[in-house]
Chain A
Amino acid sequence: MNADCDLAIVGAGPAGLAAAATAAGLGLKAVVLDEQPEPGGQIYRSVERVATTRTAHLPLLGDDYAAGLDLVRRFRATNVDYRPQTAVWQIDRDLTLRYRDARGIGNLQARQLLIATGALERSMPLPGWTLPGVMTCGAAQVLLKSAGMVPDGKVILAGSGPLLFLLASQLVRAGVKPAAVLETTTYTRSALLHGPRFALAPGYLAKGLSMMGALRSAGVPLRRGVRGLRIAGTERAERVEYERHGVRYAEPADLVLLHQGVVPNVNLALSLRCEHEWDDLARCFRPRLDSWGASSVPGVLIAGDGGGIMGAKASELSGSVAALAAAHALGRISRQDRDRSASALRNELGRHLRARPFLDTLYRPAQEYVAPRDPDTIVCRCEEVRAGEIRRLVTGQGCPGPNQMKAFVRCGMGPCQGRLCGLTVTELIAECRGVPQQEVGYYRIRPPVKPVTVADLASMDIDV
Chain B
Amino acid sequence: MFRKLPEPGSPLVTVTVDGQPLRVPVTFSAAAAVLLYGGISRTTPVSGSPRAPYCMMGVCFECLMEIDGAPNRQACLVTVAEGMHISRQRGARRAET
**Residues of A at under 8 Å CB distance from B?**
35-37, 42, 46, 49, 53-54, 56-57, 85, 87, 120-121, 130-136, 138-139, 142-143, 146-153, 174, 235-236, 254-255, 265, 381-384, 414-416, 419-420, 451
Contact string against A for B residues 67-79, beta-carbon threshold 8 Å, 1 for contact and 0 otherwise: 0000010100101
**B60 adjacent to A147 (CB under 8 Å):** no
Q: In the complex the two chains form, what is the Cα distance from A37 to B2 in whole Å?
A: 22
Known: A149-B5, A150-B2, A150-B5. A135 touches B51 (CB 8 A): no
Closest Cβ neighbor of A118 among chain B residues? B57
Chain A residues within an 8 Å CB radius of B57: 42, 120, 138-139, 142
**B3 adjacent to A132 (CB under 8 Å):** no
Q: Which of B28, B58, B74 has the most CB of A within 10 A?
A: B58
Please name 28 pairs of A and B residues whose Cβ atoms are closer than 8 Å in the assembled complex, sorted by A.
A35-B58, A36-B77, A53-B10, A56-B5, A56-B6, A56-B7, A87-B77, A121-B59, A135-B53, A136-B55, A139-B56, A143-B32, A143-B35, A146-B56, A147-B25, A147-B27, A148-B4, A149-B35, A149-B36, A235-B50, A255-B1, A381-B51, A381-B60, A382-B61, A383-B46, A384-B44, A415-B64, A419-B59
Contact string against A for B residues 2-36, beta-carbon threshold 8 Å, 1 for contact and 0 otherwise: 11111100100000000000000101110010011
Interface size on B, residues (CB 8 A): 38
Asked if B62 is at the interface of the complex by the 8 Å CB criterion, the answer is yes
Chain B residues within an 8 Å CB radius of A135: 52-56
Chain A residues within an 8 Å CB radius of B72: 415, 451
Extra pairs beyond A120-B59, A414-B61 (4, CB < 8 Å): A133-B1, A148-B4, A149-B4, A149-B5
Determine how close the nearest CB of chain A comes to the CB of B77; give it in whole angstroms.
Answer: 6
**A120 adjacent to B52 (CB under 8 Å):** no
B27, B36, B55: the one within 8 Å of A121 (CB): B55
**B2 adjacent to A136 (CB under 8 Å):** no
**B59 adjacent to A147 (CB under 8 Å):** no
Q: What DSSP secondary structure best describes chain A's contact surface? A: loop
Q: What DSSP secondary structure best describes chain B's contact surface? A: loop
Known: A135-B55, A416-B60, A416-B61. A147 touches B28 (CB 8 A): yes
Asked if B49 is at the interface of the complex by the 8 Å CB criterion, the answer is yes
Chain B residues within an 8 Å CB radius of A46: 27
Known: A132-B52, A414-B61. A151 touches B1 (CB 8 A): yes
Q: In the complex the two chains form, what is the Cα distance from A235 to B38 in whole Å?
A: 12
Asked if B97 is at the interface of the complex by the 8 Å CB criterion, the answer is no
